[in-house]
Each structure stands twice: as C-alpha cells, then as structure tokens.
Amino acid sequence: MKSMITLKSALAWFVLSAVFCLTAADAGDARRGPFLGNGFHNGWVDQHSVVLWTRLTKTMEMNRNGKQFVDPGEKVNKQFMQGKTTTQLIPDQIPAGFRLEDMEGACPGMEGEARLTYYPKGEEKKKIQTGWTPVSASKDFTAQWKLKNLRAGTDYEAVVEARPNAGAQPSDCVKGRFNTAPAADAVRDIRFVVVTCHEYPLRDAGANGHEIYDTMLKMKPDFFVHTGDVEYYDKPHPYAWTEELMRFKWNRLFALPYQRSFLANVTTYFMKDDHDTLKDDCWPGQTYGAVTFERGAEIFDKEQFPSNDKPYKTIRWGKDLQIWIVETRNYRSPNTMPDGPEKTIWGKEQKQWFFDSVARSDATFKVLISPNPLLGPDRKNKRDNHANDNFRFEGDELRAFINRHKMFITNGDRHWQYVTHRPGTDLWEFGCGPGSDVHAGGWPPDDKRPEHRFLRVKGGFLSVEVSRRAGAPSIRFRHHDVFGTVMHDEVFPAK
Ligand SMILES: [Fe+2]
C-alpha cells in the first residue's frame, strides 16, 4: 500500500515539476518528446563548481508492462566472464520477436537538445542559462555541463529542459537543486549519507525503487556518496554482455521514481566498483562478453555519470570536515599478482596525491571514503581489497598513514553493516551495508569478531554528522536500517 501511495507522490512530483517549467510548451512537442525520463544528476561538487548530467528519453517513464528477460543461467554467464564471446550476446536473453525496448524497465534514449538554467535559491534574477546542447546515440543521448564560478556554501535551483530540435518549444522539463560546499574556514554542521550495492531486481520498494532513497531524501543531507556497485553488470535480467545491455541497466535504474527524485535534489558523489565497471573482482585488461575493462570504465567515468578530469578528488566541507573520494579499479594490479611493493590498488599517482593532500589538510576531521574495505575483516576466500592477504603490502602502508593522521574510513562493497576498530590504534572503519535487506549476506550474522564494535547483516545506509556544541566539534557515525532507524551510533570528539 505504502509503495502505491509513494509511487503516486513521486510521479506527482515529476509531473508538477514539468508543469512548473513548461509554461510555454507547445502541446504537440510535449506529446512527442524527447522527455527527461532519467531526471538529472550532479557530481563532483566543491566550493565553486559542479557537474550536471542528464539524458533525453523517448518516453516519460520506463516501460512498466514490458516482457521479462530470459535467464540463460550462470553456466552460460561463466563463459562470458572468462572472455569467451558468441554471437548470441543479446538474443539469448530476449524472447524471440522482441527488441530491447520492449523489455520491462526499458527507458530508450532519443535525439534532441537539452538546456540548463541555474541560480542561487531565491535569486532567480541572477539565473544563468546554457545554450541548447544536442545529444546523440554515440553517448547514449546524455549531456553534461561543468558549472564554474559558483558561490561557496550556497543552495542552487536547477532546471533542465528538453526539445526535439532547434526552434522547437521545450517538450519536457525537470526542476531540482544542489548545494555547494562551504568555504574551508566556515563553521557549519554538515551531514552526509553513504551507500553501496544496489541492483534493480533487489529493490525493496517495488516500482518505486529502493526504500533508502525515500528515507534519505527526508533527512535532507548536505551530500550523498555512492561507494559503487551502483548496478551489477554480471547479474541476470539481463547479464550486461554488451555496451547496449550495460546502458539498458543504467537507463532502467535511473528511471525509478525514488532514485530520480533523490538524485535531482541532493548533492552527490558517485564512485564505481567492480560490478559497475565490468564484472566481479575485475582489473584492467580483462573483458566481459563483448566489453573491455577500459570501455566499461569509460562508460561509467565519461558517459553515465557526471565526469571529472580524474576519478578521485578531495573536498573541504567547512572548517571541520574534509573528505577523500578514491578510485580503486582503474589503476589496480591483477589480483593474481604476487604481493609486494609494486602491487597496487590505488596506483602510484593517486597514492602520492592522497599522502600530500592529507598532510596539507587542517580540517578538524578527515574522512576517507573508499569503495572497498581497508580494515575488514573480510571473508578468507576474497582476493580483491586491502583487507585481503594478497594486497597486504599496500594495505599496511595505507593503514599506517591513515592511523598517523587519525583519519576515519567509510566504505562500501561488503553486503553487511559493520564498525571495526583495531585495538591500540586510531583505526576505525564504517561499512555502510547494502541498499536493501534482500541484498544482504556474505557474512554469518553471529560471527562477531573482537575487532567488531557492531555487526548487522542487513540493508541500510550510514550517516555521518559533523557538528559543534559549545564550540567543541564532534563527528558522529550512525548506521540506519532502510527506513532510517538508527541501529548503531559512535561519536568522537576532535582529537
Ligand atoms: Fe556489492
């Protein structure tokens, strides 16, 4: 019942925002499209810049009554995991006589033009409008704008419009917002949320998407970080053995009402991990079906998400907080390489940038946000991250540095929520846990180790809050279930 009502309100939001923007719309164009069925996202915000992303679609909403995919089975998928390709990449999964856009969840793209208008909240007279940007099939009908010269610590309104061609009236419109980070000397309470691991078939709010997006939107966080595995290419319905199927999975996920409402209204950082780059535990040089690792990374870094010159960045959020967003796929050594000083996940350049920028920081609290764990504990059979024995050399180097600088670690990747503290050190790690209860698993719920301060094998998210009381700053890490109830709470004063 709840999901029916909220689906209505999510759709109402979408329709209302369209009505608000489309005062001059020509009815003919409005019926014809293109539409903004994927809303818009932002990324990489700092004090003075942000990147906005959108995509033009053939329909206003995803295809809700489409056909179901055929699951060819894990055995067939294994051949594609091993880089063996066939000509049956797509037909194996689609019933005979149907096209990809006939499938349930499809939100196909459409050619046309997009335009962005933005202004500080309440100052519409200061609005800046971009020119109309054409989109094309070569980039999956997406458009991006990098905005500069923004005001620090400011709320911005943003309006994205679509039209079929030059001279035509707008055919669709979405209104949303974002906010910039406050200056390095600004004393401000900041709250952000961290999530990981979502999959379309494993959503818990039916046609609306994932419950946590509705929950987190009501919390009005200053920003949101997705630590990766935003989708899973290597899971069925469908397995994404081609670029076309990869794009299909993004188009479907971002057409979900909860995701769409949240992402158009919250400041966001997206990171990628193995499943949304290519496949489980992947590294450069590998293939999955017809797609190379390099192309997979490009689809994420340059096409389906807001792009930055580098896929890592540090951002100061006022006097008391600085965050580091790191990249753990593009620069890594093969997991199979023998461990030693040359074996890496972060790569030399990123590591040096991290050491230098942390050493320079005078923020009260420093938080590393990593797709993967650095402390764990992780399962014995895993070979993909710094908490695993086969990456111990670089793991020890990073842990020693993080401990010396009294940084906190938050991470995704693992499908359970946890807090780990290594006794006798300043090392703390907060694993946010997967996006829904049905996505949880991989660790026995009763296997609570001495280093575990908290363990919960369920879905939810992490919130982090930096605030001052009587002038004394503190940082607070809270694990939530999918409805926002606090499951665990740790507070630290400034060290
Ligand atoms: Fe995952």
Structural domain contains residue 111: yes
* Whether 341 and 453 share a structural domain: yes
Dist CA 2 CA 237 (whole Å):
26
CB-based contacts of 96: which residues, under 8 Å, 6+ apart?
Answer: none
Compute, in angstroms, the gap from residue 433 CA to the centroid of ligand 1. Answer: 9
Helix H or strand E segment including 395: helix 392-404
Compute, in angstroms, the gap from residue 358 CA to the centroid of ligand 1. Answer: 28
Q: Strands of 97-218 (E only): list them.
A: 112-120, 128-129, 133-135, 142-147, 155-163, 172-179, 190-195
Compute, in angstroms, the gap from residue 68 CA to the centroid of ligand 1. Answer: 24
Dist CA 222 CA 200 (whole Å):
26
Compute, in angstroms, the gap from residue 172 CA to the centroid of ligand 1. Answer: 35
Separation in Å, CA 391 to CA 102, 205, 210, 384, 456: 44, 38, 33, 8, 26
Separation in Å, CA 253 to CA 198, 199, 247, 409: 9, 8, 10, 28
* Whether 419 and 360 share a structural domain: yes
Structural domain contains residue 241: no
* Whether 391 and 470 share a structural domain: yes
Compute, in angstroms, the gap from residue 232 CA to the centroid of ligand 1. Answer: 8
* Whether 416 and 465 share a structural domain: yes
* Whether 390 and 352 share a structural domain: yes
Dist CA 494 CA 470 (whole Å):
13
Domains identified in the chain, total number: 2
Compute, in angstroms, the gap from residue 276 CA to the centroid of ligand 1. Answer: 9
**Low-confidence residues of the chain: pLDDT under 50:** 1-5, 13, 15-16, 19, 23-28
Compute, in angstroms, the gap from residue 153 CA to the centroid of ligand 1. Answer: 33
Structural domain contains residue 259: no
By the 8 A CB rule, do 363 and 316 touch?
yes
Structural domain contains residue 26: yes
CB-based contacts of 333: which residues, under 8 Å, 6+ apart?
Answer: 283, 342, 343, 344, 345
pLDDT tens track for 133-174: 999 999 999 999 999 999 999 999 999 999 999 999 999 999
* Whether 53 and 29 share a structural domain: yes
Of 139, 230, 238, which is closest to residue 439 (Cα–Cα)? 230
Supply the CATH number for residue 461's domain. 3.60.21.70
From the CA atom positions of the chain, what is the Rg in Å? 22
Structural domain contains residue 287: no
Supply the CATH number for residue 173's domain. 2.60.40.380
For CA atoms 457, 459, 460, 464, give the dihedral sign: positive
CB count in 10 Å sphere of residue 213: 27
Compute, in angstroms, the gap from residue 85 CA to the centroid of ligand 1. Answer: 25
Strand ranges of the sheet holding 268-270, from the earlier edge strand across to the other edge: 268-270, 223-226, 190-195, 461-469, 472-480, 486-493
Compute, in angstroms, the gap from residue 310 CA to the centroid of ligand 1. Answer: 23
Dist CA 332 CA 345 (whole Å):
4
Separation in Å, CA 434 to CA 227, 411, 445: 10, 11, 14
* Whether 338 and 378 share a structural domain: yes
pLDDT tens track for 281-299: 999 999 999 999 999 999 9
Structural domain contains residue 99: no
Structural domain contains residue 296: no
Dist CA 395 CA 451 (whole Å):
17
Compute, in angstroms, the gap from residue 398 CA to the centroid of ligand 1. Answer: 23
Structural domain contains residue 235: no
pTM of the entire predicted model: 0.95
By the 8 A CB rule, do 427 and 375 touch?
yes
By the 8 A CB rule, do 348 and 333 touch?
no
Which residues constitute the domain of residue 29? 2-61+105-179
* Whether 126 and 169 share a structural domain: yes
Compute, in angstroms, the gap from residue 55 CA to the centroid of ligand 1. Answer: 26
* Whether 146 and 43 share a structural domain: yes
Dist CA 481 CA 461 (whole Å):
7
Dist CA 18 CA 202 (whole Å):
30
Compute, in angstroms, the gap from residue 139 CA to the centroid of ligand 1. Answer: 26
Dist CA 154 CA 181 (whole Å):
7
* Whether 114 and 215 share a structural domain: no
Look at residues 179, 201, 218 and tell me which one is the last residue of a structural domain.
179
* Whether 370 and 453 share a structural domain: yes
* Whether 194 and 57 share a structural domain: no
